[in-house]
Amino acid sequence: MPGNSHVVVVGAGIIGASLAWHLVRAGARVTIVEAGAAGGVATSNSFGWLNASWGNPEPYFRLRIRSMTEWRRLEREVPGLPVSWSGGLIWDLPPDKLADFAREHAAWGYGIRSVDRKEAARLEPQLADAPEFVLHVAEEGVAEPLATSRALMAAAVAAGAKLLEGRSVTSIRIGTHGVSGVETDAGPIEADMVAVAAGVETPSMLATAGVKLPLSTPPGMLVVSRPHRRLLDGLVMAPELHMRQTADGRLVAGGDFEGNVPSKNIAAAAATLFSAMQRMLRAGEELSLERHLLGHRPVPGDGFPAVGAASGVEGLYVAVMHSGMTLAPAVGRFLAEEMLGGRREPLLSPYGLERFAGVEASASTTV
């Protein structure tokens, strides 16, 4: 497909922003249609950890670690992205599993090493306590989710993409030869190709083209403190919560309550999470809660990304996944190459939509 195709991207979260950037840089005419404001929904509630840690089959590790390299490329292409590479301490697995994870990922080339309590205290002196066996991963980092997503979208717009905010796509239009554009609440938009990067709304959007995608939407909570003097240098991944400190001094903690964030007493759940963070820090009692956020992760049926052509509808593409902060640069680049050049990146080969053929679509929002 020639580079001057008109592509509509549905959704301006981190995935839509990355896709738009890579498409426009490759010469496509790009229109992004966003129901709300640029930045995203899952993206604005994200913790922002860039990593290739735990629970990975090797092909998924390879995609994630490649995406961390792609973040560094994006930082060069879009100067000023709020991305940092602080490294982090990890002990959010039982010790035997933590040891297995370290052995396996070190063998795959991940910059991971064991540290004892003393070394952990040297790396993070404000931690109230750390267990005797902790891992340190030097190459992990953070992308401030909303700011990064907006900056990437602004760069795509500066490079020639057109962003329509406050405009909802109501359906995908199908012509005799496949996709012909989208219908929106303010009229149709013609396009040669459509890419759906609509986060948790992806299945309902695809359904308008007769494409099924199973997706679950487990909740996760973040609590954010008011700005404070520096207490953490890097990421801390403990069993109770994950935490980090932003460049402007806010402490952020994330917890998933094992997928059961209480829907009726969210403020109480936030207070519990915030107290847990305070207990983990020597000066924790000095912190005060500024706000809490409750988000839903877009998780395709088997837990892995769904990226590529929607089979049966020529010109229709999809990109939806958990870990989208980590994966956005690689997915945006590879999908743009596939859409414009017809080349499927081998690292994406396990993540095509064809694996869901015959699986019933579902979208469950727990809260």
Ligand X SMILES: Cc1cc2nc3c(=O)[nH]c(=O)nc-3n(C[C@H](O)[C@H](O)[C@H](O)COP(=O)(O)OP(=O)(O)OC[C@H]3O[C@@H](n4cnc5c(N)ncnc54)[C@H](O)[C@@H]3O)c2cc1C
Interface residues with ligand X (CB under 6 A)? 10-16, 33-36, 40-43, 45-49, 168-169, 197-199, 201, 205, 220, 222, 254, 295-298, 320-326
Of 4 and 69, the one with the shorter C-beta distance to ligand X is 69
Tokens of 187: 């009229």
Other residues' Cβ atoms within 10 Å of the Cβ of residue 72: 12
Q: Which is nearer to ligand X, 92 or 119 (CB)?
A: 92
The least distance separating ligand X from the CB of residue 56, rounded to whole angstroms, comes to 13
Nearest-approach distance from CB 221 to ligand X, in angstroms: 7
Residue pair 213/293 in contact (Cβ under 8 Å)? The answer is: no
DSSP state of 3: T
Shortest Å distance, C-beta 122 to ligand X: 25
251, β-bridge pairs: 245
Q: How far is the CB of 278 from ligand X (least distance, A)?
A: 20
Q: What angle do CA 24, 31, 353 make, to 5 degrees?
A: 80
Half-sphere exposure of 139 (CA within 13 A, CB side): 19
Q: Smallest distance, Å, CB 256 to ligand X?
A: 7
> Helices H, strands E: what count in the chain?
8, 23
Minimum CB distance to ligand X smaller for 99 or for 224: 224
Task: Choose between 119 and 165: whose C-beta lies nearer to ligand X.
Answer: 165
Taking the least distance from each CB to ligand X, the nearer of 34 and 75 is: 34
CB 3 within 8 A of CB 339: no
3-class state of residue 341 by DSSP: helix
Q: Which residues pair with 237 in a beta bridge?
A: 90, 242
